[in-house]
């Protein structure tokens, strides 16, 4: 697997493929349940093998929650007093509050105002509003349009259906040599918005495609489990059905959302803060863009809330670009296909793949010789010296200098300030020449004894 995610020559570059998929999924009206979610999964299944679809009936108890009724919508519109259709669901599915109950009613502007939602601070934007757990209906519109409404009788039609059905989610497992897993979650429950959320599912689709292709050539070290779920109720439902398995096998996990714009990269830590997932994400981001933004678990807002909850305690952190809640277009009609780009999606794909690579390459190694190994006689030393080769030798010697089995390869790469994926060849050569042995877990180091001895001496002095 290439850490930079380069496509095989002749195929569509991943960034373009991801953008094209986002464009295809964009018009569908999705929600936490219903046919929009199913249709989106069906489309994604055309691109990847092995997508399993699960249906969980409404009313199922999932931890402290209950799977809600299923919501579907065919059409919605508002006719003004002059008989003109001024709001049309077919122009923007954001016009209808998610989970709106059906309505076909004539009413005054005053009565209608109680059901209207707009954003005075962003007068051009249609807000994204939902009401999953209290039955009501609502129409969302721009503040400018709202201000233009004159008094008179309005006709509101929402042709929706809210009744027992099921919650749908998708899962893909790519088996590796180990049953230990890397877990990746993304959500697919928003109507027409691009960064939050289509960027997550399209990057995940491309990652699945890529990992399947890689595992055909050479088995991956770890098993990869991907889930495409409705946010919150979906992660709670998934956890309630798979918790034991996840707790037994997941060594690192990532919640992927808002990965389509190219304004910045961001990281949000797991609750435990220093898991393998956190370290891999930080390492991958640091060597992609040192100016990436760091958020603490206190800034959480997506499914990491469930994955890191007390008693669940999965090692899940987030790699994102402009994070949820942190960009002006968030949850409005302005979060459209102009906000994301092939480059933005490609950058996220690359950085997530790098984080995976860090985990694949992470192990505890111990050098088998005393003193520096003589690399020249093994052909590991370049025979000509250039700036490039000098840097390579320096990285290799620094790496070897810390191989006492106490730090993992990822920790050493961090310490010597070199991307772990660039040390892959060095690690392979050290193994080939039988210069290192793998150790199962960190060894206690003689350095600890030295430090202890120094502290004792300091105290005596
Ligand atoms: Zn959202």
Looking at per-residue pLDDT, the higher value among 9 and 120 belongs to 120
The CA 126 to ligand 1 mean position distance, Å, reads 14
The CA 156 to ligand 1 mean position distance, Å, reads 26
**pLDDT recorded at residue 461:** 59
The CA 155 to ligand 1 mean position distance, Å, reads 30
Residues paired with residue 71 on neighbouring β-strands, in sequence order: 162
The CA 447 to ligand 1 mean position distance, Å, reads 49
The CA 360 to ligand 1 mean position distance, Å, reads 31
Pick the CATH number of 70-163 from 3.40.50.970, 1.50.10.20, 3.50.30.90, 3.40.1790.10: 3.50.30.90
% of the chain residues with pLDDT over 90: 89
Name residues with Cβ closer than 5 Å to ligand 1, which is an ion.
196
pTM of the model: 0.93
pLDDT digits (tens, 9 = 90+) for 101-118: 999 999 999 999 999 999
Q: How many CB atoms are located within 10 Å of the residue 65 CB?
A: 14
**pLDDT recorded at residue 8:** 45
The CA 237 to ligand 1 mean position distance, Å, reads 18
The rounded distance, in Å, linking the Cα atoms of 88 and 333 is: 14
Residues paired with residue 268 on neighbouring β-strands, in sequence order: 295, 318
pLDDT tops 60 at residue 132: yes
**pLDDT recorded at residue 3:** 47
Q: If pLDDT is split at 50, 70 and 90, which confidence band does 382 have? A: confident
The CA 141 to ligand 1 mean position distance, Å, reads 18
pLDDT digits (tens, 9 = 90+) for 163-218: 999 999 999 999 999 999 999 999 999 999 999 999 999 999 999 999 999 999 99
The CA 128 to ligand 1 mean position distance, Å, reads 9
For the chain, domain boundaries: 15-68+168-361, 70-163, 364-438
Domain 15-68+168-361 has CATH 3.40.630.10: yes
pLDDT digits (tens, 9 = 90+) for 55-98: 999 999 999 999 999 999 999 999 999 999 999 999 999 999 99
pLDDT digits (tens, 9 = 90+) for 5-34: 444 445 678 999 999 999 999 999 999 999
Pick the CATH number of 364-438 from 1.20.120, 1.10.10, 1.10.3470, 1.20.90: 1.10.10
Range of lowest pLDDT (11-25, 228-242, 382-396): 382-396
pLDDT tops 70 at residue 403: yes
Among 306, 287, 100, CA closest to 187: 306
The CA 64 to ligand 1 mean position distance, Å, reads 22
Name the pairing type of β-strands 250-256 and 181-187.
Answer: parallel
What are the tokens at 291? 């100016």
């Amino acid at each position: 697997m290439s850490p930079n995610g380069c496509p095989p020559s002749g195929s569509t570059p991943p960034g373009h493929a991801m953008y094209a998929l986002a464009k295809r999924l964009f018009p569908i009206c999705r929600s936490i349940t219903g046919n929009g979610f199913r249709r989106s999964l069906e489309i994604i299944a055309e691109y990847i093998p092995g997508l399993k679809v699960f249906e969980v009936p409404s009313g199922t108890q999932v931890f402290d929650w209950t799977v809600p009724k299923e919501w579907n919508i065919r059409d919605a519109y508002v006719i003004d007093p002059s008989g003109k259709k001024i709001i049309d669901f077919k122009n923007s599915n954001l016009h209808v509050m998610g989970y709106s109950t059906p309505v076909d009613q004539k009413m005054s502007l005053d009565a209608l105002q109680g059901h209207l939602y707009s954003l005075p601070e962003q007068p051009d934007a249609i807000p994204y509003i939902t009401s999953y757990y209290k039955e009501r209906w609502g129409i969302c519109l721009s503040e400018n349009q709202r201000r233009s409404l004159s008094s008179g009788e309005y006709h509101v039609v929402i042709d929706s259906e809210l009744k027992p059905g099921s919650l749908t989610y998708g899962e893909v497992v790519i088996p590796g040599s180990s049953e230990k897993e890397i877990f990746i979650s993304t959500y697919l429950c928003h109507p027409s918005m691009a960064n939050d959320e289509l960027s997550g599912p399209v990057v995940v689709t491309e990652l699945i495609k890529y990992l399947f292709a890689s595992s055909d050539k050479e088995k991956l070290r770890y098993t990869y489990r991907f889930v495409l779920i409705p946010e919150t109720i979906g992660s709670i439902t998934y956890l309630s059905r798979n918790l034991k398995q996840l707790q037994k096998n997941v060594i690192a996990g990532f919640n992927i959302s808002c990965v389509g714009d190219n304004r910045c990269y961001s990281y949000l830590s797991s609750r435990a803060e220093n898991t393998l997932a956190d370290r891999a994400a930080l390492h991958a981001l640091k060597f992609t863009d040192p100016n990436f933004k760091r958020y603490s678990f206190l800034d959480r807002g997506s499914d990491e809330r469930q994955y890191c909850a007390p008693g669940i305690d999965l090692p899940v952190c987030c790699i994102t670009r402009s994070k949820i809640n942190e960009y002006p277009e968030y949850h409005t009609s302005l979060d459209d296909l102009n906000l994301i780009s092939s480059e933005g999606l490609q950058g996220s794909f690359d950085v997530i793949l790098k984080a995976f690579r860090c985990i694949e390459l992470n192990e505890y190694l111990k050098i088998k010789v005393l003193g520096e190994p003589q690399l020249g006689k093994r052909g590991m030393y370049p025979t000509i010296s250039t700036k490039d080769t000098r840097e390579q030798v320096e990285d290799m010697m620094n790496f070897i200098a810390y191989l006492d089995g106490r730090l993992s390869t990822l920790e050493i790469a961090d310490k010597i300030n070199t991307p772990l994926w660039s040390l892959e060849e060095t690690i392979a050569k050290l193994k080939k020449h039988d210069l290192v042995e793998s150790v199962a877990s960190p060894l206690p180091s003689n350095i600890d004894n030295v430090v202890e001895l120094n502290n004792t001496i300091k105290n005596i002095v």
